[in-house]
Amino acid sequence: MNHELSRLAADVRLSDPDQELLRLAFGLACASRVQHLLEDPKAIDGLAQLQAFVDGKLGRSELAQAAQEMAALASSHRGSNSIDGSAHAAVSATYTVANAMAGRALEAAGYGAYAAIYGYGGYAVNDPSAFEGEFAWQTGKLRELAHAFTARCNA
């Protein structure tokens, strides 16, 4: 668990209803970071739909429908055909997209970090220090986005 990210999320009131776009943008950033681990074209399409919503090019009802489909896809993901198992990170990457689309930004970050580290090899997830770089990136990205959203609202 990324404790610094959790503290920052509380500081910027990420869970407040009026922070929905920030949650979606942060979830999108986390999902985009593990996009290369996605194996199912539907998951890649889901990520594109989330991007379109954040960009104002997709409506709320379309996002809600896509989020339901992504949740079903993630829960039925069969895993990877990879011989060494490291590409099994596709399951976690798909859950990253599903959570991001549902506005569950911290959950998306958690799955994204796991996918990124598992992509190195299954052994890596047992080493807490392996997550340090990813956790730092996530915290920095949320800080950056929160600052940008605050500046936009105050302009």
Domain-wise residue ranges, the chain:
3-154
d(CA 3, CA 15) in angstroms, rounded, equals 16
pLDDT digits (tens, 9 = 90+) for 83-115: 445 457 888 999 999 999 999 999 999 999 999
pLDDT digits (tens, 9 = 90+) for 42-57: 999 999 999 999 999 9
Predicted model pTM: 0.91
List the one residue out of 18, 30, 59, 53 whose CA is nearest residue 149: 18
User: Residue type for 143, please?
Assistant: R
* Position 122 pLDDT exceeds 70: no
How many CB atoms lie under 10 A from the CB of residue 78?
9
CB neighbour class for 37 (10 Å; exposed up to 12, middle 13-18, buried from 19):
buried
- The whole-number pLDDT of residue 129 equals 86
User: Residue type for 20, please?
Assistant: E
